[in-house]
Chain A
Amino acid sequence: MKKTSTSVLPAGGALGDEPLLAVDDLHVEFVTRQGVVKAVNGVSYSLNPGETLAVLGESGSGKSVTAQAIMGILDMPPARIPRGEVRFRGTDLLRLPEDARSQVRGQRVAMIFQDALSALNPVFTVGSQIGEMFRVHRGASRRDAEKKAVELMDRVRIPGARQRVHDYPHQFSGGMRQRIMIAMSIALDPEVLIADEPTTALDVTVQAQIMELLAELQRESNMGLILITHDLGVVADVADKIAVMYGGRIVENALVHDIYRAPAHPYTKGLLDSIPRVDQKGQELYAIKGMPPNLLAMPSGCAFHPRCPYRQDNCVTEAPPLYEIGPTRSSACHYWREVLDGSHG
């Protein structure tokens, strides 16, 4: 692998074999009074230009912490990264000095946060917050920055952008605030956009608008999109490939069609089986038993074993590696073959 000690990163263009963004065996821990919280325990995924990767998992599974590690916005301490790489165009961002890192952050790899209201500053107009991206990173004048802000608000389809550029965040609805967040994140034409549950707090009607907007922006610019979500419907709608997280690990990596047709990990299978289907009306829903794991007291062996219908004796002692089970597929389950076949469970 290439070593980079200067702040000069490769420009865009052909990537060869290296993905646009590759997270490799990432570990993140938090030192807390109760002990060390192992929030991310060996996460690997990759993203190419124009591609949409969905990161699926329930709350606390480590989706946001992984994203924050990619962005370099974790507070260290309490966080620390004992192992792993985050390669952007072949350069490990974790080993870059802060000044080089800050050139990547927001400019080439940008993020939309889970909670738009608290991510926006209530005391500044939305125009000045969007425009700030240009003032800080491009040295634009106040007037030019405002002009750019109006353009961007138009681009994310906020009606009456020219008038509304002087409004404050609280004067916008939840959906409109999320558009403003999107406008800020795409301001500098990033190559990678990480969207952390961008529609979780929104109505389905507004969610449909936002997802359509993201897809359009992606088509226009060919950026890679990492969509963090727990919604199996949204994933099926937009993802090219999926990484499923459980207890701080990736338990399954697959192309979208493959995973919905035949999951290769019992957790993924359980999630898919628990979706209410029309023909199951009046019947009990399938439910994954038990509770998500406590990161301070992770189960031994496979973290899913207390809830797993496929469990065998060795699952309690041997943590499964992420088995390569096909050219575009992997599963962290000793018994992935049985799961794929759909036998018992």
Chain B
Amino acid sequence: MAATGEPILEVRDLVKHFPLNQGIIMRKQIGAIKAVDGVSFDLRRGETLGIVGESGCGKSTLAKLLMALERPTSGSVKINGREIAQARGGELKRVRRNIQMVMQDPYTSLNPRMTVGDIIGEPYEIHQEVAPKGDRRRKVQELLEVVGLNPDHINRYPHQFSGGQRQRIGIARGLALQPEIIVCDEPVSALDVSIQAQVINLLERLQNEFDLAYIFIAHDLSVVRHISDRVGVMYLGKMVELGKDTEIYDRPAHPYTQALLSAVPVPDPDGRERRERIILQGDPPSPANPPSGCRFRTRCWKAQEICAEQEPLLQIRPGTAHASACHFAETHDVVHV
């Protein structure tokens, strides 16, 4: 999927701090969870940007900020040059049409009391102009067809579908308003192995057909590699490395990326005894109280004094062709995925 032209999504210095409060009557803010803390990137038409990182590093919060489901603490999100982060009312409604979301859990993200037709057609209630009332049933049936479901099942309820089919319903709903961007937050993690490939193929087919751009959040690094043109690696609210899929997977420069990739088990037992593996010690620190300087330094085997004093910025470093946020960035072949 060749990405072309101007970015359709521009994210700059995006920050989301959740206040940490104490006291029940006199609520006093005693700190903040720095869920997303200064993230910048672009996304082009037809492009897929994969986002990876450990649980709690801020991926879903980032997704919600892009969707304007959360208000940022600071920073900017522009869709086709229009600011979404501060938009209100009619303006918000207009920019939102262009960005839709597919959620992780096909079992809980669909309202069990609504028919499939109502679920997929719901966005038309808010955006009447896209499909006038008389036209909706036909549109919804078209969408069912597009995602590989039987259009005659329009009056069925979610519980009458399998997990993979429910994920298709979620995708159909995401497509209803013909957005240019779809944010997929773990779209296949809850599915059976034998069903994941079907849904990934569907997402790729739809991308080609409608020239969609994807933000693809997932913890399965081989799936992310398969679908992404570029990949961003997050750690404790920061983007620590960002580059083309081949750069991130074949020439990772940040120690965290290297550790993450080396931890992925390889589905091939040959040579497993000789495989090099970086095993990180401990858990990520709390995002309420991240380490000074480089946030990875408490688990990094290369950390020096400067790492505690100076925050490494996400930029292209000597000897590398893509951006990484490490004072001692150095490409290292950890293979596999």
Contacts and interface: CB of A to CB of B under 8 A. Distances in A.
Interface of A: 58-59, 159, 173-176, 203-209, 211-212, 230-237, 239, 256-257, 260, 270-272, 274-276, 278, 280-282, 284-289, 291-292
B201 A287 contact: yes
B270 A257 contact: yes
Contacts of B164: 291
A211 B226 CA distance: 26
Contact of A58 (B194, B221, B245): B194
B55 A174 contact: yes
A203 B59 CA distance: 13
Contact of A280 (B226, B265, B270): B226
A282 B55 CA distance: 28
Contact of B266 (A159, A174, A176, A237): A237
Contacts of B303: none
9 smallest beta-carbon distances between A and B, as pairs? A233-B265, A276-B226, A287-B197, A208-B263, A274-B197, A58-B192, A285-B197, A288-B194, A232-B267
Contacts of B204: 284
A345 to B, nearest CB: 15
B197 A286 contact: yes
16 contacts: A59-B192, A175-B283, A203-B54, A204-B219, A206-B283, A209-B279, A212-B279, A230-B193, A236-B268, A237-B265, A239-B269, A256-B269, A260-B268, A275-B222, A281-B226, A281-B245
Interface in B262-296: 263-270, 272, 277, 279-283
Contacts of A206: 54, 283
A209 B280 contact: yes
Contacts of B279: 205, 208-209, 212
Given A59-B192, A292-B194, A205 B259 contact: yes
B200 A260 contact: no
Of B198, B268, B337, the most chain A CB neighbours within 10 A belong to B268
Nearest to A60: B192
Given A206-B283, A274-B194, A284-B204, 12 more contacts: A204-B221, A205-B260, A208-B263, A209-B280, A260-B269, A272-B267, A274-B196, A281-B226, A282-B1, A285-B197, A285-B226, A291-B164
Of A212, A234, A257, A276, the most chain B CB neighbours within 10 A belong to A276
B225 interface: yes
B302 to A, nearest CB: 17
Interface in B216-233: 219, 221-223, 225-226
A173 B265 contact: no
B193 A203 contact: no
B269 A291 contact: no
Contacts of A159: 282
Contacts of A284: 201, 204
Contact of A236 (B192, B196, B197, B269): B269
Nearest to B162: A291
Contacts of A276: 197, 200, 222-223, 225-226
Contact of A233 (B162, B196, B267): B267
A173 B197 CA distance: 31
Contacts of A174: 55
B283 A271 contact: no
B283 A281 contact: no
A206 B57 CA distance: 14
Contacts of A58: 192-194
Nearest to A209: B279
B306 interface: no
A256 B271 CA distance: 12
B195 interface: yes
Of A204, A271, A281, the most chain B CB neighbours within 10 A belong to A204
Of A208, A209, A211, A292, the most chain B CB neighbours within 10 A belong to A208
Contact of A204 (B194, B197, B200, B260): B260
Interface in B38-72: 54-55
B208 to A, nearest CB: 10
Nearest to B259: A205
A173 B264 contact: no
Contacts of B192: 58-59, 230, 292
A292 B225 CA distance: 26
A287 B246 CA distance: 24
B264 A204 contact: yes
A260 B266 CA distance: 11
Of B162, B265, B268, B280, the most chain A CB neighbours within 10 A belong to B265
B259 A288 contact: no
A270 B194 CA distance: 8
Contacts of B280: 205, 208-209
A205 B270 CA distance: 22
Contacts of B1: 282
B268 A208 contact: no
A208 B277 contact: yes
B280 to A, nearest CB: 5
Contacts of A231: 265
Nearest to A61: B192
Of B54, B55, B259, B269, the most chain A CB neighbours within 10 A belong to B269
A257 to B, nearest CB: 5
Contacts of B226: 276, 280-281, 285
